[in-house]
Copies of this chain bind each other. A is one copy, B any other.
């Protein structure tokens, strides 16, 4: 039937959920994260709740400020990449300590 591919909040929830967890793993509040990337806390709230469809630029800023880089991975490689990520989170270091924040940590 080819129904025009989901643009509902649920479609992006899994992604947003990941970012939210990453934020908490960094010990950041919505306001804290907002301050880091120059966004109002209100917007972070709406993004995480799926109320708005966040733009790519904002998504990149948020992800990177949490030590994450969004990469378009070929579908066949997704399992390999996920496995790589699981292995890494078992190395002994607690959560991925976002870095020892040098004021504006560019990357």
Contacts and interface: CB of A to CB of B under 8 A. Distances in A.
Interface of A: 1-8, 11-12, 15-16, 18-19, 22, 37-38, 53-61, 63-65, 67-78, 80-82, 84-85, 88, 96, 103-104, 107
Number of copies: 2
B57 A68 contact: no
Contacts of A82: 71
Contacts of A55: 53-56
A71 B74 contact: no
A74 to B, nearest CB: 6
B19 A72 contact: yes
Contacts of A70: 15, 70-73
Given A7-B58, A12-B60, A37-B5, A88 B76 contact: yes
